[in-house]
Structure 1
Amino acid sequence: MDPQPPEDEFWLFGYGSLIWKPPPHFDLRVPGYIEGYVRRFWQGRYVHFSHPPWDLDHRGTPETPGRVVTLIDRAHWEALDDHHATAGEKVWGAAYHIPSSKVAEVREYLDIRENNGYSIQYTPFHPAASTTLPANTKTPIHCLVYIGLPDNPVFLGPQEPQQLAEHIVRTRGPSGENKEYLYSLEQALVELSPESGDDHISDLARRCHAIEAKARVVPSREPLKPDHLAEGIEADAGFGSQLRRVGSTEEQEEVEK
């Protein structure tokens, strides 16, 4: 593990929900990337305390944990049998600078928010080329990052993409539906940079949308044959005339009452 930077230089890197739900008290947000890791939806996630504040990523229950992203060291990932066999060299996200007066408070907040299997690491962060930084900022920026390491109890390892997508669509927890985490992450990555897409994320989102679309389809009724259709028209016509005949007398009687 890299040494911890001084508190007046506290930077946090977010590669999951922190991209669109940032920590409190940050005074600078910088899009960019880290290297040497692969982002995957291989971390289980659920709430295991019974009162607020709810963790912003708790989109499952102990019985049916949700799925959220973690980072896997690239060397370790290359030794695994991943159904998504390719991954970009960069993991895009956002880095946040926290003022020294707020570091202790933010660290306490993050330790609660990332308490379900995540460990603290430090990594070099490369700001996007179009970013304007304060004059005294050295790059790459030394960032804290929370990672669900493979030895944590809710690390799940390689997941078959279709089964993973089906699980994400049907799972929810105190913080909402698991699929909304996935869709929000995909949208947040699209908005960071023209280079910041993630094939693993976009493929899972596409699969989830397809599952939802299929669930909304109502089976069509078998079309009537021409002779059946004619019989139906005649029957409807006869029934309609009966209604009109009955209605004319009964309505008049009702008016007279």
Structure 2
Amino acid sequence: MTVATPESNSEFWLFGYGSLIWKPPPHFDRRIPGYVTGYLMDNPGQSSQDHRGTPEAPGRVVTLIERSFWETLNDHHPSGSDKVWGTAYRIQAEKVAEVREYLDIREINGYTIHYTPFYPSDGSTTIRTLVYIGTPDNDQFMGPQDPQKLAEHIYRSVGPSGPNIDYLLSLDVALDNLSSESGDEHIKDLANMVRIIEQRAKGDKSHPTGQAVDHELMKIGSTDEQEETEK
């Protein structure tokens, strides 16, 4: 896939997956659930040094990888659906430059810009969306990991945006809420593994109790305000 030139200020759509499903960008005026194809949402295989971990102890977050590349890997989970679910956000025309700058900073840790068709869940017209992808050639890409070891790592990790476990549990719930067919089997299995680990370690007060965030979207009025919600 090639990286295209930036969109004009008249129409700008962003495909949000991962935390962008429940932490929307500022200045959006439309939000549409749906999916993209040709990709696989990697088992949280992107290192997170700036949100769900630290440079000394990185957490794990999801990224998208092209299905053709995934087929060359010795992965630990089935490929699942051909659809990767998320949300498309339309950004207000006069705020496009501001939001693009904010997103470039938010997603700078190992992510690159791609463009891909987005298919709304209601069957309406396909939308061309920008998406940030942690490509396999970036130094934050971790690749396939043993699910149990990954669950244990996520349980232990904490960063400026909070415990890594909260990210995983929130993603599991957010995906289920998009559509009757939008849940991700691998994310759900991994979330259940983490819940079991937490149950076994309830007496250990050194680890925070994991919880999914409230998924009622709060519209953000500025990129400065958005930065506060990331902390």
Shift of 1:8: 1.2
SS in 2 for 1:27: strand
Matches within 5 A, 1:50-65: 58-65=51-58
Aligned residue in 1 for 2:225: none
SS in 2 for 1:96: strand
Aligned residue in 1 for 2:118: 125
Q: Which runs of 4+ in 1 moved over 3 A?
A: 2-5
Separation (CA, whole Å) in 1 of partners of 2:3 and 2:147: 33
1:171 corresponds to which letter in structure 2?
Answer: S
1:26 corresponds to which letter in structure 2?
Answer: F
Paired residues of 1:122 and 1:144 also in contact (CA < 8 A): yes
Matches within 5 A, 1:58-97: 58-97=51-90
Separation (CA, whole Å) in 2 of partners of 1:155 and 1:21: 22
Shift of 1:79: 1.2
Paired residues of 2:28 and 2:91 also in contact (CA < 8 A): yes
Matches within 5 A, 1:6-85: 6-40=8-42, 41-47=44-50, 58-85=51-78
1:43 corresponds to which letter in structure 2?
Answer: Q
Shift of 1:213: 0.7
**Alignment TM-score, normalising by the size of structure 2:** 0.84
Q: Deviations 1:101-120 (Å, cap 9, x if unpaired)?
A: 00000001101110100000
Q: Does 1:184 align with 2:170?
A: yes
Paired residues of 2:40 and 2:79 also in contact (CA < 8 A): no
Q: Deviations 1:15-60 (Å, cap 9, x if unpaired)?
A: 110000000000000000000000011000112xxxxxxxxxx010
Separation (CA, whole Å) in 1 of partners of 2:101 and 2:199: 41
Q: Deviations 1:133-157 (Å, cap 9, x if unpaired)?
A: 7xxxxx2100000000000011001
Gaps spanning 5+ residues in structure 1: where?
48-57, 134-138, 219-257
SS in 1 for 2:62: strand
Paired residues of 2:4 and 2:114 also in contact (CA < 8 A): no
Shift of 1:215: 1.2
| Equivalent of residue 196 in structure 2, options 193, 210, 216 | 210
Shift of 1:9: 1.4
Q: Deviations 1:37-89 (Å, cap 9, x if unpaired)?
A: 00011000112xxxxxxxxxx01011110100000100110111111023211
2:45 corresponds to which letter in structure 1?
Answer: W
Paired residues of 1:46 and 1:66 also in contact (CA < 8 A): yes
Shift of 1:174: 1.2
Paired residues of 1:2 and 1:123 also in contact (CA < 8 A): no
Aligned residue in 2 for 1:3: 4
Separation (CA, whole Å) in 2 of partners of 1:113 and 1:160: 28
2:13 corresponds to which letter in structure 1?
Answer: W
| Greater radius of gyration (CA) | 1
Matches within 5 A, 1:89-238: 89-129=82-122, 139-216=125-202
Query: Aligned residue pairs: how many?
Result: 201
Shift of 1:217: 6.6
**Alignment TM-score, normalising by the size of structure 1:** 0.76
Separation (CA, whole Å) in 1 of partners of 2:80 and 2:87: 19
SS in 1 for 2:171: helix
Separation (CA, whole Å) in 2 of partners of 1:89 and 1:192: 16
* RMSD, matched Cα: 1.4
Whose helix proportion is higher, 1 or 2? 1
Gaps spanning 5+ residues in structure 2: where?
205-231
Shift of 1:2: 5.3
